[in-house]
Amino acid sequence: MLDARTIDIIKSTIPLLESANTALTEHFYRRMFRDNPELKDVFNLSHQASGRQPAALFAAVLAYAKNIDNPAVLATAVERIAHKHTGFAIQPAQYDIVGHHLLETIKELAPDAATPEVIDAWAQAYGALAGIFIGREEQIYRANESKTGGWRGTRAFVVKEKRAESGQITSFLLVPADGGAVAGYLPGQYLSLHLDAAELAHQEYRQYSLCQAPNGRDYRIAVKREPGGTGSSFLHDHVQEGDVLQLLPPAGDFFMAVTADTPVVLISGGVGQTPMRAMLDQLLRQGHPAPIHWLHACENGAQHAFGDDIRQRRQAHANLETHVWYREPAARDRPAEDFDAAGLMDLNKVKERILLPGAHYYFCGPLPFMAMVKDTLSAWGIADEQLHYEVFGPHQQL
């Protein structure tokens, strides 16, 4: 527990943090990578270049300062970040490195305000937060290795199948090289890959949503080729069937948890359908009796991954309804067969079908797409606790 004086000092630095904004975290990452270049093998440098990671870290630091007297309100964020950290195999010693560079950044950017008292207060505050993360991450590590088929750290998996699902998305079926069982997971969670190859300038950790229900035998992920994406380009261009990849156990705080009488609406844009597929697969395997709605939007048929599979599932399950939007259908795309509507997804067009009592809504896709979904559903009066979403990469609030 932090004492009242420390809390007051941290709160007094909030205006300083707000005035610095992401310059604080950008400086932090520059000095950390300069002095500890080995961490370039841990952090996603693409997210550094885009500014998403500095922005996400700044939002987290500011939220912590504003809620320093009641950190329990940050429990959801802590859970999300702790799961992400386990996907990078973060260890306690690395928190010491981060803490050192954070304090040095404050001293360098605000030398007049960074009095010994302020630095001591932030050292205590950071230490308390690091302790929370270290404790929660150890719980996750232990839970993962104690599962049937579970493990800690990395484990070798063989690419059993590599299959193009669309013009941009390829799926990979992964089986354990040791022939053993694989740990279960909750539909919606992701798998972490540790990529280390001569083609890569640095070792890379990447998270990809699992796109099938757990079966104890194998994992399937689907990867979209991102322009300039280091990890996705490596997987698309260099990884072939028979190759071995190093995996960390499944993790993630975004997952489906519903009762048998809960209507479920799965909404996705582009590759955002990957966690939705795991959820749908689980619901159908379990014979979920309540209504299930699958809503998906993509560019056109050439970019529509898993389209045939979804159509087959719809025909086989009376309680599954689907609605697909193509933004710009190609001449070969068949209305009412390949897609249901042209243009951007418009939830109001299907409001009467998906506005169901007690329904839970899961959605994933590009940030503007998810913001549209959340704003629309909220405007219909759907409670926040019925809305669940996943942001690929550093988290951002919608």
For residue 95, indicate whether it is catalytic.
yes
Query: Quick one: tokens of 106?
Result: 């404050």
**Dihedral sign, CA of 80, 86, 88, 90?**
positive
> Is 190 marked within a binding site?
yes
Q: Would the annotation count 207 as a binding residue? A: yes
> Which residues lie across from 294 on neighbouring strands?
266, 322
Measured over the CA atoms of residue 154, residue 159, residue 165 and residue 166, the dihedral's sign is positive
**Strand 387-390, strand 360-364: pairing:** parallel
Distance CA 321, CA 392 (A): 26
Is 46 annotated among the ligand-binding residues?
no
In whole angstroms, give the CA distance from residue 290 to residue 273: 21
Active site residue 389: no
Exactly one of 29, 64, 95, 362 is catalytic; which is it?
95
On whether 85 is known to bind a ligand per the annotation, the reply is: yes
Reading the block at residue 256, the tokens are 């489906």
Tell whether residue 394 is among the known ligand binding residues: yes
Annotated ligand binding at 209? The verdict is yes
Q: Is 391 annotated as a binding residue?
A: yes
Closest of 260, 256, 252 to residue 281, by C-alpha: 256
Is 71 known as a binding-site position? no
Tell me which of 26, 137, 204, 390 is the catalytic residue. Answer: 137
Report whether 393 belongs to an annotated binding site: yes
Residue 166 is labelled as binding a ligand: no
Instruction: State the Cα–Cα distance between residues 321 and 356, nearest whole angstrom.
Output: 13
182 is in an annotated binding site: no
Identify whether the C-beta of residue 173 lies closer than 8 Å to the C-beta of residue 158.
no
Q: Is 358 annotated as a binding residue?
A: no
Chain position carrying tokens 């063989």: 158
Query: Residue ranges for the binding site for NADP(+)?
Result: 270-275
Query: Residue ranges for the binding site for FAD?
Result: 190, 206-209, 391-394
Which residues belong to the active site?
95, 137
Query: Residue ranges for the binding site?
Result: 85, 190, 206-209, 270-275, 391-394
Query: Residue ranges for the binding site for heme b?
Result: 85
